[in-house]
Chain A
Amino acid sequence: MRSTGSYAHQRCVACAQNISNQKLVQGILDSIPSPEAACLSAEDISPSSNGPRDDDPDDLFAEATEEVSLDSPERQPILSDGPSPAITPVTPVMISPRVDVFDRSPDQDEDEEENRDTFDIQISVSDPEKVGDGMNAYMVYKVTTKTSLSIFSRDEVCVKRRFSDFLGLYSKLASKYMHMGYIVPPAPEKSIVGMTKVKVGKEDLSSVEFVEKRRSALERYLLRTVKHPALLKDPDVLQFLESSELPRAVSTQALSGAGILRMVNKAADAVNKMTIKMNESDAWFEEKQQQFENLDVQLRKLHASVESLVCHRKELSVNTASFAKSAAMLGNSEDHTALSRALSQLAEVEEKIDQLHQDQSYADFYLISELLGDYVRLITAVKGVFDQRMKAWAKWQDAQVMLQRKREAEAKLQYANKPDKLQQATDEIREWEGKVQQGERDFEQISKNIRREVGRFEKDRVKDFRVVIIKYLESLVHTQQQLIKYWEAFLPEAKAIA
Chain B
Amino acid sequence: MMQEGLDDGPDFLSEEDRGPRAVNVDLQTDATLQVDISDALSERDKVKFTVHTKSTLPNFKQNEFSVVRQHEEFIWLHDSFVENEEYAGYIIPPAPPRPDFDASREKLQKLGEGEGSMTKEEFTKMKQELEAEYLAIFKKTVAMHEVFLCRVAAHPVLRKDLNFHVFLEYNQDLSVRGKNKKERLEDFFKNVVKSADGVLVAGVKDVDDFFEHEKTFLLEYHNRVKEASAKSDRKIRSHKNAADDINRIASTLYTLGTQDSTDLCKFFLKVSELFEKTRKIEARVAADEDLKLADLLKYYLRESQAAKDLLYRRGRALVDYENANKALDKARAKNKDVLQAETTQQVCCQKFEKISESAKQELIDFKTRRVAAFRKNLVELAELELKHAKGNLQLLQSCLGVLKGDT
Which residues from chain A sit less than 8 Å from chain B, CB to CB? 291, 294-295, 298-299, 301-302, 305-306, 308-309, 312-313, 315-316, 319-320, 322-323, 325-327, 329-330, 332-336, 338-339, 342-343, 346, 458, 461-462, 465-466, 469-470, 473-474, 476-477, 480-481, 483-484, 487-488, 490-491, 494-495, 497
Q: Chain A residues near B220: list those with CB within 8 A.
A: 333
Tell whether A458 pairs with B249 under 8 Å between CB atoms, given A302-B256, A319-B234, A470-B404.
Answer: no
Q: Chain B residues near A336: list those with CB within 8 A.
A: 367, 370-371
In the bound complex, CA of A332 to CA of B217 (Å): 11
- Whether B262 lies near A312 (C-beta < 8 A) is no
- Whether B228 lies near A298 (C-beta < 8 A) is no
In the bound complex, CA of A461 to CA of B263 (Å): 10
- Whether B227 lies near A305 (C-beta < 8 A) is no
Tell whether A320 pairs with B386 under 8 Å between CB atoms, given A308-B245, A497-B378.
Answer: no
Digitize B41-60: 1 where CB-to-A-CB distance is under 8 Å, 0 elsewhere: 00000000000000000000
Contact of A305 among B230, B248, B374, B396 (CB under 8 A): B248
- Whether A494 lies near B235 (C-beta < 8 A) is no
Tell whether A484 pairs with B389 under 8 Å between CB atoms, given A323-B234, A333-B220.
Answer: yes
- Whether A494 lies near B396 (C-beta < 8 A) is no
Residue contacts A-B, CB under 8 angstroms, 8 given: A302-B256, A308-B248, A315-B238, A316-B241, A323-B234, A326-B227, A332-B224, A476-B392
Tell whether A322 pairs with B231 under 8 Å between CB atoms, given A336-B371, A462-B263.
Answer: yes
In the bound complex, CA of A333 to CA of B253 (Å): 48
Which residues from chain B sit less than 8 Å from chain A, CB to CB? 213, 217, 220-221, 224-225, 227-228, 230-232, 234-235, 237-239, 241-242, 245-246, 248-249, 252-253, 255-256, 259-264, 267, 271, 274, 278, 367, 370-371, 374-375, 378-379, 381-383, 385-386, 389-390, 392-393, 396-397, 399-400, 403-404, 407
Closest-CB distance, B269 to chain A (whole angstroms): 12
Max count, chain A CB within 10 A of own CB: residue among B228, B237, B379: B228
The B interface, classified by DSSP as helix, strand, loop or mixed, is helix
Tell whether A333 pairs with B260 under 8 Å between CB atoms, given A322-B231, A487-B389.
Answer: no
In the bound complex, CA of A294 to CA of B375 (Å): 54
In the bound complex, CA of A299 to CA of B383 (Å): 38
In the bound complex, CA of A483 to CA of B388 (Å): 10
Q: Chain B residues near A332: list those with CB within 8 A.
A: 224
Closest-CB distance, A315 to chain B (whole angstroms): 5
- Apart from A298-B259, A466-B403, A470-B403, 15 more pairs, CB < 8 Å: A305-B249, A306-B245, A312-B242, A316-B239, A326-B231, A335-B217, A336-B370, A336-B371, A339-B370, A461-B262, A466-B407, A473-B396, A480-B392, A487-B389, A494-B375
Closest 10 CB pairs of A and B: A309-B245, A316-B238, A494-B378, A323-B231, A497-B375, A319-B235, A480-B393, A326-B228, A483-B389, A491-B382
Contact of B259 among A291, A334, A497 (CB under 8 A): A291
- Whether A458 lies near B259 (C-beta < 8 A) is no
Contact of A298 among B234, B238, B256, B378 (CB under 8 A): B256
- Whether A305 lies near B245 (C-beta < 8 A) is yes
Contact of B252 among A301, A322, A483, A488 (CB under 8 A): A301
Tell whether A491 pairs with B379 under 8 Å between CB atoms, given A305-B249, A312-B242.
Answer: yes
Tell whether A334 pairs with B403 under 8 Å between CB atoms, given A487-B382, A497-B378.
Answer: no
Q: Chain B residues near A476: list those with CB within 8 A.
A: 278, 392, 396
Q: Chain A residues near B264: list those with CB within 8 A.
A: 461-462, 465-466
- Whether A490 lies near B382 (C-beta < 8 A) is yes
- Whether B224 lies near A497 (C-beta < 8 A) is no
In the bound complex, CA of A491 to CA of B239 (Å): 22
